Amino acid sequence: VALMVTNTKPVIITNEYYFAIFGEGSVLGIPAPILWTLGVAIAGILLLHYSVYGRRVYAAGGNPTAALYSGVHIKQVTTLAFVLTGTLAGLASLILSARSHAARPDVVQGMELDVIASVILGGCSLFGGRGFVLGTLLGSLIIGTLNNGLVLLGVSSSLQLVIKGAIIVAAVAFTRR
């Protein structure tokens, strides 16, 4: 729908206040996107590792049947997890659009593999019940550095996908042990 509404063209953003809050601004020399990332990471750590809801998320992901029998409302936990995920995706889109001075509905198309690779490299299990916010942050830094290095080396985009896929397969094989 967004592609149809915009006629597949980017929507140019000119609001300087928007850029200052989400993209190009800084506090004490620290760029706004890094501050947003640190804020979300700290909130995620507190939520997942130091709250009842966080324990319920890990229980629901690790063994939903046992979590259900121990009184966890699986549908409520997963619904809130998806709401939080959507909210954070919206925040990421605000930051990305502020950095690029335009809103494009297709700008992150194909980044799903990067997200999966980042999360798995960060120590999260595809099979549920285990995950680390700081690990995921580190995994995303690794994948971002890898992407940048592959582009600088002139590696074709199809080979880049193969390399990232191999990393995912290796990481999953390693975490299953």
Is residue 141 pLDDT above 60, yes or no?
A: yes
The pLDDT of residue 132 is 83
* In the block, residue with structure tokens 């140019």: 12
pLDDT averaged over the chain? 86
11 compared with 87, residue with greater pLDDT? 87
Please tell me the least confidently modeled range out of 75-84, 103-112, 123-132, 136-145.
123-132
- Are the C-beta atoms of residues 118 and 140 closer than 8 Å to each other? yes
Is residue 39 pLDDT above 90, yes or no?
A: yes
Is residue 37 pLDDT above 80, yes or no?
A: yes
Predicted structure pTM score: 0.80
CA 140 to chain CA centroid, Å, is: 8
The pLDDT of residue 177 is 52
- Are the C-beta atoms of residues 165 and 157 closer than 8 Å to each other? no
Is residue 69 pLDDT above 80, yes or no?
A: yes
Range list of H helices, 50-132 = 52-62, 64-69, 74-100, 112-121
**What are 119's two structure tokens?**
């999360």
- Are the C-beta atoms of residues 70 and 52 closer than 8 Å to each other? no
The pLDDT of residue 176 is 62
Please write the tens of the pLDDT for every residue from 160-177: 888 888 887 887 777 665
What average pLDDT does the segment 127-133 reach? 77
For residue 108, which amino acid is it?
Answer: V
Please write the tens of the pLDDT for every residue from 71-106: 889 999 999 999 999 999 999 989 988 988 888 877
* In the block, residue with structure tokens 């121990």: 70
